[in-house]
Structure 1
Amino acid sequence: MRSNRGAGPVGIGGTLLMKRDTTIRIFSLLIALAVVVPAVQAALTVDAGSDRTVLAGEPVTILATCNDTDVFDAMNLSASIDWSTGATDAGIVQDDEHNGTIQATHTYLAAGTYAVTVKVANNATGAVACDTLNVTVSPQQAEVKVVPKTLNQKSNGVMTVFVSLAEWLGFAGADRTNVTVSDPSEFAIGNATPEKVNFCMKDGGTLILKYRRQDLDLATGDGNLTVTGSAVTEEGNVSVAGTGAVSVINPGNGKKGENDDGYAWAAMVKENAKEKVKNQKEFREEQQKGNGKAKGQAL
């Protein structure tokens, strides 16, 4: 009869071999997973900064900051800025081993609000970060004088608006001696455009614009009117605006006896007469000074 005593050791050895084989397989599987599953990408962030306000034609500088948990490597990082009017590449200056600064400058010519997006990419890890700020562009301010200062929109005649360009010709300390106005008739008050335009060289340049009173859509009680337009500089057409004081009375038809407010009508007639004389005097003086300068240059 055969004995089974020798089977014990063989069974134990087989079990040990099986356990060892299983351990090797699990270890191999872990190595495979480590190769297949990519490591978590380092966090890349960018801060575009706070919203900005600037005048048309003046440069605005963006100073954005970026941070990467990976060690800063300028060779792997790239930055660009979308100004809403176009995009440009921007350089990144390293601040320390994890932080950098993006600086770029842009000039807006037209008034409005623009969304500016700063984008930073780590070309080694594939990480991308973006942040946006708003830049509000206001028109360059021009000095505006209104004659007469009382407006009855239903009366006949014109209202004269003097727009002085001297104040903003040198904005931002730049030499703007070659600034011109391409089309003075584009200077508007709301939807109203001037019926007649003159240009006087006094004090660097004054536009003399005449608007039909009936075209000026101002509500009773309004304390001012705003003139908007543009002028040509080295960079292009720059938005210009100015505000002049005016008093809008209860509209009548401009004829005595038919206005609901006789006192207002009388005051308006008196004011118009005074302002008309003053307007004519100032215009003659401006022409004389302009002619005097021209004669001096000719000599």
Structure 2
Amino acid sequence: MSSAPARITNDHLSVTVAALGAEIQSIDLSDGRPLLWHGDPAFWAGRAPVLFPIVGRAPGDRIAVNGQTAPMAQHGFARRSLFTRIAADARYCRHELAASAETRALYPCDFRLTITHALDGPRLTIRAEVANEGPTPMPFGFGFHPAFLWPLPGAAGRAHRVVLDNGASPALARLDGGFLPEQRHPSPFDSGVLQLDPAQFAADAMIFPEGAGSGLTYGAEGGPALQFRFENLPHLALWSKPGAPFVCIEPWHGMAARCGGPPDLAARPGTILLAAGASTRFACQITLV
């Protein structure tokens, strides 16, 4: 099928998805106002990359799988790979990336990664399926990395916050040189509520390895807001650049390598070891509320 961006739309939202990385390029309201960051490289050229087969950095930007060591850039190669659109209509599109000689030189596994974007009323659902089509267990990490405008449309000058569904105050981890230390810091959440402040991102991402739950709401006090639900994505990160008009809401299964840790992908925190012939699924639902 065509490599041009797919466009799906309904009475509430309009979404475009590129073949490169199966990455969302835009999420617009029915009146045309954008919700998604537009990828200005002055701050960050990404918009909503898919993270596979690693989340975060690897030591020396190299990973080891089954004794094979190879280069691996931050967040993996899926975000820089051309997917094939295998199905689409007005309300959904599906893209697929399968193992090739090029990917096996970096990651010696026979995988198939399928990403589906679907609209249902004011809800966008992003589903991912990872299949191990090889004869041995397959280690990998997976994550979503969408960036939303901060402030949201119609909310300029108003405080924005992230509210966890579970009302928790999960401990904070800060990267050290791009890697995950054992140290944890006091939570910036107060009974599940985080008032966003650009200064919070001066030390890079805020990572919550445990306890953030499976859902949250991001928005301005009094609205508008976006409600998120996560499936099989137990780790959460929030990221921006000081002064940048976006915030990333990042649900993950897997994280950066530990400080001083080995390059072995299987040793990374949160790594999934998928049995031969098996598959697993992840999902992120985003609802306009």
The structure whose RCO (Cα within 8 Å, separation 6+) is larger is: 2
Structure-2-length-normalised TM-score: 0.23
